[in-house]
Structure 1
Amino acid sequence: GQNFISFPRHEEEHLQRSVSWHPCLLILGQNCSAKCQLLNILLGEKLLPTTKISNEENCKRRRIRFTHGSQTRLSLALPQQYELVHVLAAHRGHWDTIPEEDLEIQGDPEDPAHRIAELEVMLPYSLLKEVDVVVAPCRGFQPAEDTLGELVNQVLPVVTFAISEAQLSPSDQSELRTIKEKFSLPIFFFRVPEAGGELISPKKPDSDKSPPHCQLMVVERLDKLRLLSTFSRQVLQKHLVEAATSLNELHCRCLNIFINQAFDMQRDLQITPKRLEYTRRKENELYESLMGIANRKQEEMKDMIVETLGNMKEELLEDAALGEWGDIIIPENGEPVSSKDIKCCIKQIQELIISRLNQAVANKLISSVDYLRESFVGTLERCLKSLEESWEVSVHPARSLEKPKDGSVHITSNYLKQILNAAYHVEVTFHSGSTVTRMLWEQIKQIIQRITWVSPPAITSDWKRKVAQDAIESLSASKLAKSICSQFRTRLNSSHEAFAASLRQLEDGHSGRLERTEDLWLKVRKDHAPRLARLSLESRSLQDVLLHGKPKLGRELGRGQYGVVYLCDSWGGHFPCALKSVVPPDEKHWNDLALEFHYMRSLQTHERLVHLHGSVIDYGYGGGSSIAVLLIMERLHRDLYTGLKAGLELETRLQIALDVVEGIRYLHSQGLVHRDIKLKNVLLDKKNRAKITDLGFCKPEAMMSGSIVGTPIHMAPELFTGKYDNSVDVYAFGILFWYICSGHVKLPEAFERCASKDHLWNNVRRGVRPERLPVFDEECWQLMEACWDGDSSQRPLLGIVQPMLQGIMDRLCKSSSEHPNKGLDDST
């Protein structure tokens, strides 16, 4: 089938909202006075009246929206639509505080447009450039959950709740509980002074110094506003993190679909030719077996017919003599019977003989070929179903989405199925009207119909017995058997040729399909998957930087071909960390890095793999001269190269070898091939336990393009052919184990003599390997040689290498403890 990549509608809407919608500060509160006070505090002017209304239930204040504009302007407008033609009290003259009558719903209460219109206030305030402010209408007009329900489909809401009373009323609690259940939004509680208190500092104070209690109020209010600012940033950041997370999940989902399809396509390219060859071979075997049966059975069938007739003769004669034949009227007065009745009676006697003999012959033939269903036909049909299904889907992709009513997932050509069953007679029974049955029937009828008789006799028991006896004696068992087997062979040949022609047609269809599959597989590996991997890297890096910020680079720890590794004190709750900065030089390296990141993030934490904490794309790296990807990983003590130079005990080195094998085995269990196992890609912690790092060349087998990658001295010879599998990691481990057993980092002499990389590769292809050192234990040397065998199929599985290493370690380390001066050399 085909996988279609889709973006769930709610996720798409959430992303659109997070990216394009404007943030909005929604002011809720215990009463209209508290909400107005909070608005005045936020904007620094007494724009709304703060007189406490005696009966909040009868309050009819409408929703008020404050937005940015170059000039001060008030209007009534339908939300997100158009302005209403309406003269406001504020239009009649200058105002500092918006007139009360403009805040309340006036006029015809039946006019729906006037009722739902909000008062839009445009002000040239810098705060309003960043965020709209909406004061919710009074509860008597519209519940807070309804107001919020409308806003969440228009803006990114930041909810505040103004408190002016000593405690929350039951209606306050109910309102807040409903908001929490319906929207799961955080709420910022802001206590405002009692109504009538001095909220805004006078523009022209009467004295240079304000009273101490007023100064304290201003300081507290500033602290609260700073907290509100922080809260708002956190809420908006949460929206962005959720959007980045949704986007990254989509990218990963799509990328995994492509990677899984790459596996399916690779398997298809490998399996389909083998299935076609298997089908051809098994059909030939079946055909030859059936032809052998036809040749062998002729004599047996002749003997069987003779034996059957001999055994059944008396019973047949008796049944024929005593049989009451329908549709025949025998006159009681002895008058002669008509020729028509005579012929009818003879025909019925013939049919009695034919049916008995046919059943015996058919059963004999069935028993000869019936066993073939288990050994041939079942497997052959299953193989054909698979081949035809994949061909059918490639020719008619839309049909792959249609499930048959019976729930079957196989779409099989009825034509081929009928050929298979008809050709080999696996369905033959007496009641089926099968080919063999019809052949036998016609043959016996031809023989019996040659019987002649004189003028119509009287139909008596003796006459009927005589007719039956003549019919039986006229049958030639040898001719009948020969005729049956000859026709059987003819039909077999005809069906075999028809089957072969159909198979050639199927093969031709698959040939074109496999060419298209190979082209698509190449596009998935080279284009689609890498592009999606890069998008996934970008969206995950956005998510990480929003959550944890940009990491700070410490001192340099080392550098490689494409990047530098720095110390990072802490990031995202992890410390200390290592930070690998990579500046990809071209698109290919960008894609490789993105895929490395995807594979590392998709792996579960494993104690033998260096853990990747996160990533950040630094667009201003190197003073803005380049773009770098910062990969933040766990910090380890040193690499194996440095450890061997410093000197490591035998037991420690063998434990490191075991750790490396465990790490590679885990990668292989996840369908990944590392392709660059070497000393510097094995890191050691402070206890000298090993972890594998740098998955830059790590890929699933289905995603490998055959490119030559890795470090020359650790590269298996088949890497140069472009066709290889995960056994290249076994080869690389064999070279690594040579260093581990030697206890130093000096190049093997066979490699050191090579003047260039090409010289080294040519030698490796010719079978040149590291030399055996005197210090090597025999079993260790045998393990190295097995791992770096030139024939990849002869290399041991890591599941076998691991217990072998454990056995070597147990033996040598026990030996070393008993003989402190003895090393890996087993000759001393």
Structure 2
Amino acid sequence: MQVAPRRLEYARQQEEQLYDELLAVARNKEENIRLLIAKTLDQDRDLLLRRECVLREVNKRVGQQLVMPPASQLVNAAYQVEVRPTSSWGLLRSMWERIKELLTGGASAPLDEGASLRRRTAPGSREWKRQIAADMIRGLSEKRLARTIAAQVRCLTLISGEIKAAHSMFLSYMELLETQLNEMNNSIERRKDQLKGVHAPKLAKLALHTDAINNRVKYGLPVLGGELGRGHFGVVYSCKSWAKYSPCAVKTLLPRDSAQWRDIALQYHYTRLMGYHPRIVGIHACLIDKYYGEGNKPVPGRAGGGRERWGSGSRSGAKAHGSKSGALSNQCVLLIMDMHECDLDTAIRRGLLWYQRLRIALDVVLGIRFLHSQGLIHRDIKPKNVLIDVKGRAKVTDLDFCKPEAMMTGSIVGTPIHMAPELFSGNYDSSVDVYAFGVLFWYLCSGKTNMPRNFCLQKSKEDLKVAVFKGVRPECLSTFSPECWAIMEQCWASDPRDRILLGFVEDRLSEMLKKSLDDMKEEDVSLTDAT
């Protein structure tokens, strides 16, 4: 059986419950013995005295006075009574057996108290038997029963001690199991960290170089066109055709150090590994240009894709990517992707109908849910990282798989309005994407790209970060419907556990989109009838 923390906790809870029940039984049994004896002596004394009980000792004494043995046998048969206690409790049964043994085995000493009365009454008479029974009951209540109860109490005390000892032993074994489990888990985590931090990036970089060489040999480098956009770490160009992709987009990335090489390799690896999804911008291929900026290449960052001859040893390409000192190497990674019309930020500026905004929001939710199903977290959901195709459908792009420590080292550039509070501490899960979607949905519902007024009041990014930690969120605009505002509030809740699941968001957006399309159809019908 696999030992897990939850199983250990379950075993501990069950043992504590059993331990409490056993102690309760031990305490209750001792009290029940006392109450049972008291009740028996108080309530059944007269009944015992009235019963037609003829004891073996009585039979024997009567038989000794008879001359004929057959008569003695008849008396024994006539007066022998088997006393059967109605209770099934072992203690009561043993008490009755002891009474029978004492009564049938003969008294070791004569009962002086009723001796004169017995001599005055005829042996075998009803009064004579009643007096003998009363004497024996008094003797048992004073001596025999006291010894029996004392023995039972000592037995219960021993049982309670054994229960407590077993409980202590169980707890010690549980602590030992927990210690061993923690050591095993720590060892596994160390191996995982080594795999993720050392071996996985090396294998991913090796796979990146292998694919790049293969694509370079087969299809050559793409001819770059005009600039489509740029981010913090790369520039995107258009390309008329490369291999079987026409047209396509080429994202150029110039790694500044080994850490960025690792991140690019992992991004390429995970994107290729998770396969195709209609709401995710995939990467078709990669290439590496070892002489980027030294040949007849378009100058990165120049609109229109102007071409010029660069002199030998030029690092214009590196400078255009924002590197302070160019780069440690002029090698450039080229990622081949599908061409898109624009990003969501540009689309909002151009203007979108309400049903288009709802459909884009639904597409983004589907893309995020797919990433989460693959065990991935985007960490940077915002309008700039959502692309719109020619059909007006949205796709999530710019997958960011940086380590959580990167959030604390200042390598995250840009405003933190889309970042959940826990992202800054490095202790987070996939719910940070839910938070970011809530802010993105605010922009979609507002129909503008202006920063929320509550965030504009902050003088610096540090002030904005503090405000987000304190619970400051975008304001509710008059154009928001209660349903849309409820989705936003549930997405950006401060406690990650209180945030809504994206599956519920998908259902709500689907219903809202359907209603919006139905309303549009009704309006079209009304306009047609009017004309």
TM value normalised by structure 2: 0.66
Aligned counterparts of 1:675 and 1:576: Cα–Cα separation in 2? 29
Equivalent positions of 1:306-385 (< 5 A) are none
Say if 2:20 is the partner of 1:288: yes
2:248 corresponds, among 577, 580, 585, to 577
Aligned counterparts of 1:671 and 1:686: Cα–Cα separation in 2? 30
| CA 1:519–1:603: 2 relative to 1, 3 Å | closer
> What does residue 447 of structure 2 align with?
743
Q: Which amino acid aligns with 1:617?
A: I
2:501 corresponds, among 762, 776, 797, to 797
> What does residue 339 of structure 2 align with?
635
Aligned counterparts of 2:25 and 2:221: Cα–Cα separation in 1? 80
Unaligned runs of 5+ in 1: 2-263, 308-358, 365-439, 455-472, 821-828
* CA shift for structure 1 position 698: 3.6
What SS class does the counterpart of residue 485 from structure 1 fall into? helix
Aligned counterparts of 1:756 and 1:535: Cα–Cα separation in 2? 42
Aligned counterparts of 2:495 and 2:519: Cα–Cα separation in 1? 34
Aligned counterparts of 1:287 and 1:754: Cα–Cα separation in 2? 59
2:233 corresponds, among 545, 562, 573, to 562
> What does residue 167 of structure 2 align with?
496
Say if 2:483 is the partner of 1:779: yes
Say if 2:205 is the partner of 1:534: yes
Aligned counterparts of 2:150 and 2:397: Cα–Cα separation in 1? 81
Q: Which amino acid aligns with 2:390?
A: K
Partner deviation per Cα, 1:316-351 (whole Å, 9 max, x = no partner): xxxxxxxxxxxxxxxxxxxxxxxxxxxxxxxxxxxx
> What does residue 510 of structure 2 align with?
806
| CA 1:604–1:477: 2 relative to 1, 3 Å | farther
Partner deviation per Cα, 1:224-246 (whole Å, 9 max, x = no partner): xxxxxxxxxxxxxxxxxxxxxxx
Aligned counterparts of 1:664 and 1:515: Cα–Cα separation in 2? 31
What SS class does the counterpart of residue 621 from structure 1 fall into? coil
Say if 2:383 is the partner of 1:679: yes
> What does residue 459 of structure 2 align with?
755
* CA shift for structure 1 position 715: 0.5
* CA shift for structure 1 position 633: 0.9
What SS class does the counterpart of residue 352 from structure 2 fall into? coil
Aligned counterparts of 1:772 and 1:547: Cα–Cα separation in 2? 55
Aligned counterparts of 1:758 and 1:524: Cα–Cα separation in 2? 35
* CA shift for structure 1 position 798: 0.4
Say if 2:348 is the partner of 1:616: no
Aligned counterparts of 1:690 and 1:537: Cα–Cα separation in 2? 27
Aligned counterparts of 1:498 and 1:730: Cα–Cα separation in 2? 47
Partner deviation per Cα, 1:20-55 (whole Å, 9 max, x = no partner): xxxxxxxxxxxxxxxxxxxxxxxxxxxxxxxxxxxx
1:663 corresponds, among 364, 367, 370, to 367
Aligned counterparts of 1:635 and 1:686: Cα–Cα separation in 2? 9
What SS class does the counterpart of residue 277 from structure 2 fall into? coil
> What does residue 257 of structure 2 align with?
586
The answer as to whether partners of 2:232 and 2:413 remain within 8 angstroms in 1 is no
The answer as to whether partners of 1:730 and 1:798 remain within 8 angstroms in 2 is yes
Q: Which amino acid aligns with 1:790?
A: S
The answer as to whether partners of 2:292 and 2:331 remain within 8 angstroms in 1 is yes
Equivalent positions of 1:13-24 (< 5 A) are none
> What does residue 482 of structure 1 align with?
153
Unaligned runs of 5+ in 2: 41-87, 109-142, 295-312, 316-329, 525-531
Size of the aligned set, in residue pairs, is 397
Aligned counterparts of 1:504 and 1:682: Cα–Cα separation in 2? 50
Aligned counterparts of 1:802 and 1:543: Cα–Cα separation in 2? 41
| CA 1:816–1:493: 2 relative to 1, 3 Å | same
1:764 corresponds, among 468, 475, 491, to 468
1:688 corresponds, among 392, 399, 416, to 392
* CA shift for structure 1 position 650: 1.1
Q: Which amino acid aligns with 2:343?
A: D
* CA shift for structure 1 position 754: 2.9
Aligned counterparts of 1:494 and 1:520: Cα–Cα separation in 2? 39
Equivalent positions of 1:19-98 (< 5 A) are none
Aligned counterparts of 2:522 and 2:482: Cα–Cα separation in 1? 19
* CA shift for structure 1 position 361: 5.6
Aligned counterparts of 1:535 and 1:569: Cα–Cα separation in 2? 29
Say if 2:417 is the partner of 1:713: yes
| CA 1:539–1:481: 2 relative to 1, 3 Å | farther
* CA shift for structure 1 position 767: 1.5
Say if 2:1 is the partner of 1:297: no
Aligned counterparts of 1:528 and 1:817: Cα–Cα separation in 2? 56
Q: Which amino acid aligns with 1:796?
A: I
The answer as to whether partners of 1:675 and 1:710 remain within 8 angstroms in 2 is no
| CA 1:743–1:616: 2 relative to 1, 3 Å | same
| CA 1:499–1:527: 2 relative to 1, 3 Å | same
The answer as to whether partners of 2:377 and 2:430 remain within 8 angstroms in 1 is yes
Q: Which amino acid aligns with 1:589?
A: Q
* CA shift for structure 1 position 812: 4.2
Q: Which amino acid aligns with 1:490?
A: G
Q: Which amino acid aligns with 2:283?
A: L
What SS class does the counterpart of residue 529 from structure 1 fall into? helix
Aligned counterparts of 1:499 and 1:548: Cα–Cα separation in 2? 68
1:598 corresponds, among 235, 247, 269, to 269
Aligned counterparts of 1:689 and 1:668: Cα–Cα separation in 2? 20
The answer as to whether partners of 1:706 and 1:719 remain within 8 angstroms in 2 is no
* CA shift for structure 1 position 799: 0.4
What SS class does the counterpart of residue 620 from structure 1 fall into? coil
* CA shift for structure 1 position 499: 1.9
* CA shift for structure 1 position 524: 3.7
Say if 2:462 is the partner of 1:730: no
RMSD over aligned CA atoms reads 3.7
| CA 1:571–1:361: 2 relative to 1, 3 Å | farther
* CA shift for structure 1 position 296: 2.1
> What does residue 544 of structure 1 align with?
215
Q: Which amino acid aligns with 1:293?
A: V
Aligned counterparts of 1:660 and 1:508: Cα–Cα separation in 2? 44
The answer as to whether partners of 2:263 and 2:401 remain within 8 angstroms in 1 is no
Aligned counterparts of 2:498 and 2:368: Cα–Cα separation in 1? 18
What SS class does the counterpart of residue 333 from structure 2 fall into? strand
Q: Which amino acid aligns with 1:283?
A: E
The answer as to whether partners of 1:650 and 1:813 remain within 8 angstroms in 2 is no
What SS class does the counterpart of residue 177 from structure 2 fall into? helix
* CA shift for structure 1 position 511: 4.6
* CA shift for structure 1 position 275: 5.3
| CA 1:574–1:452: 2 relative to 1, 3 Å | farther
Aligned counterparts of 1:360 and 1:532: Cα–Cα separation in 2? 73
* CA shift for structure 1 position 760: 1.7
| CA 1:810–1:524: 2 relative to 1, 3 Å | same
Partner deviation per Cα, 1:718-755 (whole Å, 9 max, x = no partner): 11121111111111111111111111212212223333
> What does residue 553 of structure 1 align with?
224
